[in-house]
Amino acid sequence: MFMKQDKKHTDYLSYSEFKESFKTLTYYDLSENDIKMMIATADEREEDAKINWKNFIPIALDLI
């Protein structure tokens, strides 16, 4: 899921890539607020809204 959305091969997901990755999980109806909270939780630096692989995994596992 992460690598599929990391189309630019930057080793992180932008806000829009992150949002799109969770839209593919059709059994979750995540709101904008849900996604923003997930990004804030996973974002190491909290100012760039970028999620790397290491921070993506715990969020994805929690949802699955």
- Predicted pLDDT of residue 17: 85
Tokens describing residue 25: 């999980």
User: Which residues is 13 bridged to in the sheet?
Assistant: 51
What DSSP character marks residue 52? E
- Predicted pLDDT of residue 25: 65
Tokens describing residue 16: 């829009």
What amino acid occupies position 11?
D
- Predicted pLDDT of residue 23: 72
Contact at 8 Å (CB) between 56 and 2?
yes
Higher per-residue pLDDT: 61 or 6: 6
Could you report the per-residue pLDDT of 13-62, keeping only the tens digit for each? 888 888 787 776 655 677 778 878 887 887 766 667 788 888 888 877 87
